[in-house]
Structure 1
Amino acid sequence: MLRVLKRTPYFVTNVQSRIKLPEKFKGTIIEKWTNYWKNLFIDYRQMFQDLRTDIQDDPRKALIWTTGITTLYALAKNNPNEIDFKDIMKRVTNDVILVSEDCRNPKSIEHLRYIQKCYNEGVIHYRSLGIISFMYTCEINDSCDLYKAHCSYLKPSYSSLFSRMVDVGFMGKWWNTYIKTTNYDVNM
């Protein structure tokens, strides 16, 4: 990889020296456009040279940065979305239905019914922050046109955010649903 980074600036310089603009394009937008791209290539050439020297000077720092960026990319790639939430809710509900009522865990059933009620009322919402996702509820449906829906003084406060949180999605899993429905067939 270092050899490729070492050869790249020279390759870009050779390409720039071979490209000549005809006289009829001097002073036109085409000349400005080619100058823009030449300067962009120069900037990237300098960036690759700096990157190469930084990697050679401090390989630990480069390893830490590479590991951090790769981890963030993997977390963002595995961030669950609302479709995943609906899918897991359907799967768990189908599994719970197959268990007799005497054996079902009441906490799991209560959680599933609450989420189904929120979907029926249209008060459950999804929000993604890139590497973590949230399912939360609000008091009023979005299509509701009551005074309470428009008054800024009646909006929920930020302190009530955690009480309105239904589930947290991280690393490809919806954790609250997983915790509450793991033992759905154990009546406690």
Structure 2
Amino acid sequence: MILDISLKMLRRVSKATYTINNLQNKVKLPDRFKGTIIETWAKYWKNLFIDYRQMLQDLRTDIQDDPRKALKWTTIIITVAALTKNTPNEFDFRDDMKKITNEVILVSEDCRNPKSIEHLRLLQQCYNEGNIHYRNLGIIAFMYTSDLNASCDLYKGQCSYLQPTYLNSLSRIVDVGFMGRWWNIYIKTTNYDVNPETK
């Protein structure tokens, strides 16, 4: 499958080089625009097309010379693109939290796992206080907490000396989103209906 993708990519590169070459030969500037800003602009785009044409020709040559390297890079690019596309967002997190909370409500209090309940209460408290935030880093996303709400205008929220350090920021991470799932909430609420304290 990856070999087919590499071959399709090679064909597209060849086609793009041919198209750019034809476009450069067909487009000519009328005499009335010579010496104007339009001519400067046209030269800029022409040089840009030449650069891209050369880049595509070099890419085609590299793919033909070393197909293993091209296959490796194609695999890396496809993997990163797939991971980036499947990174969960804050709506997914809230949706998971609501679904699990609704399922936990249906379970008897004696059967509920205290760790799962405690984690869900912490998340609900953070949302009620407005100090939970979302950060997307491409292939991975984080839900983290802060001391104060974003709309709070106290001195503690404004002073740069009172802001958390990077090492302290790691302890504020509530959940990590990767490969289409929020992992902390998944792990902590998998056995929400199993109470280890009851015998």
The letter for the 1-side match of 2:51 is D
- The Cα of 1:3 is off from its aligned counterpart by 4.4
**Paired residue for 1:84?**
92
Distance 1:52 1:105, change over 3 A: same
Secondary structure of residue in 2 paired with 1:144:
coil
In the TM superposition, what is the alpha-carbon distance from 1:7 to its structure 2 partner? 4.7
User: Which letter maps to 1:24?
Assistant: R
1-structure distance, mates of 2:23, 2:151 = 59
Other-structure match for 1:178: 186
* Mapping 1:60-99, distance limit 5 Å: 60-99=68-107
CA distance in 2, matches of 1:91, 1:166: 18
How many corresponding residue pairs?
Answer: 188
Q: Distance in 1 between matches of 2:146 and 2:166?
A: 12
Q: Which runs of 4+ in 1 moved over 4 A?
A: none
CA distance in 1, matches of 2:71, 2:140: 24
Q: State the identity as a percent.
A: 71
When the two structures are superposed, what TM-score results if normalisation uses the length of structure 1? Answer: 0.93
Q: Kindly state the Cα deviation for residue 37 of structure 1 after the two structures are TM-superposed.
A: 2.0
- Matching residue of 2:32: 24
Is 1:121 matched up with 2:121?
no
Aligned alpha-carbon RMSD (Å): 1.5
Which whole-Å CA distance do the structure 2 matches of 1:5 and 1:44 have between them? 11
The match for 2:147 among 139, 145, 149 is 139
- Taking a change above 3 Å as real, the CA distance of residues 185 and 46 of structure 1, as seen in their structure-2 partners, is same
Q: Distance in 1 between matches of 2:166 and 2:14?
A: 52
> Which has the higher mean CA deviation after the structures are superposed, 53-62 or 16-25?
16-25
Q: Which residues of structure 2 form unaligned runs of 5+?
A: 1-7
Q: Does 2:48 match 1:40? A: yes
Question: Cα gap change, 1:52/1:91 in structure 2, threshold over 3 Å: closer, same or farther?
Answer: same
Counterparts of 1:154-165 in structure 2 under 5 Å? 154-165=162-173
